[in-house]
Structures are given as C-alpha cells and as structure tokens.
Amino acid sequence: MLVTRSKPQVIVVEDNVDLLDDLVFQLDEAGFLVRGATDGIKMDSMLKMKEANIVVLDVNLPFESGFQIAQRLRSNVMLGIIMLTARSELDDKLRGFENGADVYLIKPIDRRELIGCINSLWRRVKPIPQEACWQLDSSMRTLTAPNGKKLSLTSQDIKIIQLLHVRPSEIFSRKQIVQALGIEYISAPDARINMMISRLRQKLLNFDASLAIQTWRNEGYSYVGPELN
C-alpha cells in the first residue's frame, strides 16, 4: 500500500546562505519536511538520496540558473516547482513559467504567502493513495490478501473462483460450473458439485470472512466478495 504524507518533502535552492537558513527554519517551523541546497549540484545529490515533492528555486544560482534547473526538473510531472527570486520583470516571469515553474514569487516575500503556495501546490502534486487489493494467481494457485497473507488453492478452486468472479453477484448454475471444470455434466451429480462448493466456501471464509459464495436454492451460486485482480 502506498502511504502518502500529510506534509510535502521540500527542497529550497538558494545561494544566499543566510536567506537559505532563514527559509529552511521558517518552513520547518510550519511543519514541512525541508532541506536546503546552495546550488543545483547539491540539490541533485539530495534528490538521489531522498525524493522531494516541491522545490523552491532561486534564479541566480552558481553553475546552473534556476531557469535551467526548472527546465530539467519539469520532466517529473508530480514535482511542484516554485521560483522565488528578486527578478521581477515580466519577461523573467514568463521565462520561469515556460521552463516549468508552477508558481513565480518575488522577493522579499511574507513567509505566510510562501507557505500558502506550498500548501496549494501540494494539493495538486500529492500522490494518490493506492489501495492494496486482492490478488488471484492461477499459475501459483494462491489468493493473496491486501495484507500479504496467502491462501493455497487447488486448480479446481481457481477455476470455480474465476468463473464466479467474472460477473460478481450473478448466479451461475451447476452446469456452468461443471463446464468450467471441464467435466461432463452427466457424470457430475449435484451432490458432488455441492460438496466442491461447500469446501471452497469454507476455505475462503476461514481465510477471510468477506470472501463469500452465496447459494441460491435450485438456481446455483454467486460470488459476493471483494474484487480480485
């Protein structure tokens, strides 16, 4: 299961060490997970060690400008980029947006505005949690629960589950089940089918109470459990 953080990982890239320390302190006080770098090279090293969700970039940096850094970072669509710079000309702003900035802020800035921008951008780039799901593996003949626990099944169990799961809640007759198993219907009395289903139902229920096969008197069976992938 993918677990998302309530606060983003932020890297501030600023070559003015005093300002960098101040920004890191303010953002840390605001509850963000923040690191500081004085240039793009140090930022790259940080990104290799640990991912980031939002980068706050100055423009006038040694070795590589903030515009250049934003341009190469933009390939990661789930990374938010905020440019924080003293360059206030319209052409600079447009260049910032053209190179991938999501937000362009002018120094000096009230920390509340920067914090507000980070929070707003975080709502866009925050990873969407992926719910763990049930996995049915016919080749390994196993059913794996979201918590990783595995149930061993027979090839016969797999065929029955696959048939019933094709259209959940739909009733499948004993004849359809027999055909899915590759058995001649005439050689499979109802009592035998009932026993197979009963054993499978009990096996599933013992593993997890949500894995239910429902019996429909004189009609057949249906699967009413969670979705299986």
The reply to whether 19 and 103 lie within a common domain is: yes
Whether 4 is covered by a domain: the verdict is: no
51 and 116 belong to one structural domain: yes
Q: Band of the pLDDT at 188, cuts 50, 70, 90? A: low
Structure tokens of 122? 């975080």
- What b/e sequence results for 108-127 when a residue is b if at least 16 CB atoms lie within 10 Å of its CB, and e otherwise? eeeeeebbebbeebbeebbe
Residues 114 and 13 in one domain: yes
Domain ends where: 93, 125, 157? 125
Q: Give 129's DSSP letter.
A: P
Residue with structure tokens 């983003």? 8
Evaluate if residue 201 carries a pLDDT over 90. yes
pLDDT at residue number 97:
93
Domain tally for the chain?
Answer: 2
Which pLDDT belongs to residue 191? 78
If pLDDT is split at 50, 70 and 90, which confidence band does 107 have?
very high
Is 3 within a domain? no
Residue 150 inside a domain? The answer is yes
pLDDT confidence band for 98 (50 / 70 / 90): very high
Beta bridge partners of 144: 135, 150
Are 59 and 159 part of one and the same domain?
Answer: no
Task: Give yes or no for a contact between 63 and 40, defined as CB atoms under 8 angstroms apart.
Answer: yes
Q: Which domain holds residue 116?
A: 9-125
Q: Let me know whether 43 and 113 are in one domain.
A: yes
- 113 and 149 share one domain: no
In a domain, 145, yes or no: yes
Which residues partner with 11 through β-bridges? 35, 55
Same structural domain, 155 and 192: yes
Residue 6 has pLDDT above 90, yes or no: no
Output the six-digit token pair for 9: 């990982």
Asked if 26 and 116 sit in the same domain, the reply is: yes
| 3-state SS, residue 181 | helix
Do 98 and 185 fall into the same domain? no
Mean pLDDT of the chain: 88
Longest CA span, the chain: 86
- Cα distance between residue 34 and residue 20, in whole Å: 11
